[in-house]
Amino acid sequence: LDPACSDAADKYSSEHVNVHDIESQHWLFPDGIYLLKDTVQCDVPEWLHKVMADEVLDMVDSIDSDEPSVSFSLLDNLGSDPTQLRADVANELVGDLEQARAGYVDKSKHQDGVALYTSSDAARYVVKNEVYNKLIADIEDENEALRGGLNSYVLNQIAENGIDISGLTGVTSGSLSLFNNPAIEMAGNALGAEMGIIDTMTITGMPESKYNWTENMTVVIDQYPDYLYHDEDFDLRSEYLWFDEEANLTIYPLGVRNKCVFTTGIADDIADVLDKSAESIKTATSQTVSKSISDLNAEANALMDNLSEQAVTFDTSVMDTNLTNLKQVYSSQMKVHIPEEIAEQVAVDPVVSKWIGSDDVMSIVSKHLSTLSNDEIICQSSDETLSFEISSRIKMRIMTSNISVNNDEMDAVLHRVDTDVRIGVAEGISVVIIDNKKMIDGSFETINNELQGMLDENTDKLSGEAAEKVSKRLEKTMNMVPAGLPLIPPNWVFTINVWTYDVMGEYQVFRVIDNDNEVIFDPYFGHVGQVYVRHDERISHPYMKNEDGSSVWLGKNKPISFKFNGYATTIVGPGPKGVGDKIGGRIEESEGFIN
C-alpha cells in the first residue's frame, strides 16, 4: 500500500466524475427516450437473432421497393451550388421518412392495443426503430452541405494543387463565385435576344424637368462577321465568316484559348479525403477507382485489337508499360492490404471473432486473392463481387467448423461476416489509393499523353475514312482516362471541372440601330433611324470642301476589336470517367488565337 496515493481516487472523482450526470442519464437512451424502470428479466431465446434480422431486412426491403424520393429540378435552379441543393433535397426526404416511420416500423405487430406482447417483441421493435434512425442519420450525414460552400471547396483544392488561377481571379473585381453568380441569369436572358435584338428599353426623362418624357426604344445589333451564328449548318448566308478582299481569303477572326484546371490528378484528390471518410464513402470511392482502371484496361485491349484488324501500327510500348505497371502495383498492394484489413475487422467484432480467428481469416483471404490475376482482382473490386467471394469462403469455414450450432444462431453470425468483409475490402483499397496516389495519377497522365500522341500521328499518317475511324477509336479510349475534381465530403455526389478562357476577335462591321425612332431626314425614305457604325473608313465632312475642292477629313473610323476572359464550370455525377479535357491537352488554342 502506497500512502502517498491514498487520495488519488478522491482527486480523480472530483475532477472527472459527475455523479448528477450519471444518475440523470442512467435510464436514458442516446435518442433522449427514457427506458421504463419496470423491466422483466429473461433469457435471450436462441431464435431471436434470426427473427430480428429477418424483420429488419424485410423493413429495409420494403423501403427499397417503395423508393421514397424527392423531385427537384436543376433547370429551375441554374447556377446554384449543387451540393447545397442536394442537402436541401435530403432534408426534405428525411422529413418524409419521419412521417412514414410508423408504417415501416409497424408497432402493431408487437402489441395488443397499448402493451407489447413479450420482451422479444419489445427488443425487435426497438431494433427496427434504431435501424430506421440509422437510415435517416446516414442520409443526413452523406448529404450534408459543404462547409463554406462549393466555391471555397474548389478554390482550396486549386490552392493545394498549386494551380495558377490568375485566369479566374482576373475576371472579377469581387470575390470569385463559381455558383450563385448573377452572370448565369444574365446569360440565360441573353439567349432570348440571340437574333440580334438586344432589348426593348423604357427611357424616362428627369421627373423634375418640364421636358420630362417616356418612350420605348428597341435597339438592334447588326454585326459582321456574326459570331452568334458560327455554325455553318445553321447560318445559310455564311455571315459567320469574313471575306478579306485584299488578301482574297475567307477567315474566321476569332481566337479562343481555354485551360482545363483539373486534369488527371483524380487519385490525389480522392486520397486527401479517403482517410477521414465513412465506410459507405470508402466503399463507393474504392469501387470507382478500380472501375476506372478496369475500364481503361479493357478499352486499351480493344483498341489494340481494332488497330491490328485495320493494319495500323503505332508504338504503344510506353502506354503498355505504364498500364501493366499500374495494374501490377494496384493489384499486388490489394493482395497485401485487403487480408490485413478484413482480419482486423473480424478481430474487433465481438461476435464473429468468437467463431473464427484473425489468422484463419488472413489465410483464407490471402489464398483466394493469390488465385486471381491482376485483371481479375481489379475487375472484381470494381463492384461487390470481390466482397461476396471472400465472404462466402469465410462463412463456409465458420459453418464447417461449427456443425452443431443451430441455424438461427448461425445466420445471425453470418450476417455480420458480410459487413466485416465489405468494410475490410473498402479499407484495404483505400490504403492502396492513399499510398500509391502519385503512381496512379502519373500512369493515367502518361497513358493519356501517349494516346494523344497517337491521335496526332494518325492525322499525319492516314487520311480520309481510315483516319476518321482510327481517330474515333483513339478518342474513345482517351475518354476512359479519369479526370476532374471529385466532390467527396461528405459523399461523392459530383465530379467538377473548371476552365478558364481567353477570347479575342474583331468586327469588320458593327452597327447599333435605333429601330423605333426615325428622326434623321432622308430625301428618299423621309426619315430613318439613327445608326451607329464602326468599320474601317476615313470620315469626311458631309458638305465642306477644301479650297482645292478636296474632302475635309474629320478622322478615321476604326473597326471594333475585343478581348475578354472568363471561366466556366461543369458538373457531372460520380463515375469512373469524370469530366475534363482528355483530347487536345489541358490547354487548347484555336488557330485564330495563335495567329
pLDDT for position 487: 72
Predicted confidence (pLDDT) per residue in 70-80, tens digit? 887 766 776 67
Inter-residue contact 216 to 200 (CB < 8 Å): yes
Mean pLDDT, rounded, for 2-7: 60
Task: Tell me if 419 sits within 8 A of 53, measured CB to CB.
Answer: no
The reported pLDDT for the residue numbered 270 is 78
Distances (CA, A) of 253 to 141, 373, 594: 52, 55, 11
Listed residues 458, 481, 504: the one ending a domain:
481
**Domains of the chain: total:** 2
User: Residue for cell digits 428479466?
Assistant: 41
* Confidence class for position 322, pLDDT limits 50, 70, 90: very high
Burial class (CB in 10 A: 0-12, 13-18, 19+), 219: middle
- Per-residue pLDDT for 364 more than 90? yes
Per DSSP, helices labelled H in 214-351 are 266-274, 279-309, 317-347
Q: Name the percent of the chain lying above pLDDT 90.
A: 21
The helix (H) or strand (E) run that includes residue 93 is: helix 82-99
What pLDDT, on a 0 to 100 scale, did the predictor assign at position 173?
45
Is it the case that residue 383 has pLDDT exceeding 80? yes
Best-predicted range by mean pLDDT among 129-143, 433-447, 523-537?
433-447
* CA-based nearest residue to 470, from 361, 350, 314: 314
Given 437, 466, 481, which residue is the final one in a domain?
Answer: 481
pLDDT digits (tens, 9 = 90+) for 168-193: 555 444 445 555 555 444 444 444 34
Torsion sign, CA atoms 497, 500, 505, 507 = positive
The CA distance from 580 to 482, in Å, is 8
- Quick: pLDDT tens for 208-253: 666 666 667 777 888 888 776 666 666 556 666 777 777 787 777 7
pLDDT classification of 30: cutoffs 50, 70, 90: low
**pLDDT value, residue 435:** 93
Judge whether 458 lies within some domain. yes
Tell me how far apart the alpha carbons of residues 582 and 120 are, in angstroms, rounded to a whole number. 59
Within a domain: residue 394? yes
Asked whether residue 83 is domain-assigned, the answer is yes
Q: Which of 116, 142, 168 is the last residue of a domain?
A: 142
At which residue does the C-alpha cell 450563385 appear? 180
Indicate if 332 and 476 belong to the same structural domain: yes
Per the CB < 8 A criterion, the answer to whether 588 and 258 are in contact is yes
Q: How confident is the model at residue 22 (pLDDT cuts 50, 70, 90)?
A: low
The pLDDT of residue 395 is: 92
Most confident of 57-71, 267-281, 358-372: 358-372
pLDDT-based confidence at residue 331 (cuts at 50, 70, 90): very high
Residue-by-residue DSSP string for 120-170: HHHHHHHHHHHHHHHHHHHHHHHTPPPTTHHHHHHHHHHHHTT---HHHHT
Query: Is 88 a member of any domain?
Result: yes
Q: Residue 473 falls within a domain, yes or no?
A: yes
Average pLDDT for 548-555: 92
Instruction: Print the domain residue range for 102.
Output: 8-142
pLDDT-derived band of residue 341, with 50, 70 and 90 as boundaries?
very high
Task: State the cell numbers at 218.
Answer: 428597341
Can you give the pLDDT at residue 69? 84
The amino acid occupying position 393 is R
pLDDT tops 70 at residue 360: yes
pLDDT average, residue stretch 267-295: 81
Cell of 343: 482480419
Task: Please check whether residue 569 lies inside any domain of the structure.
Answer: no
Question: Is there a domain that residue 504 lies in?
Answer: no
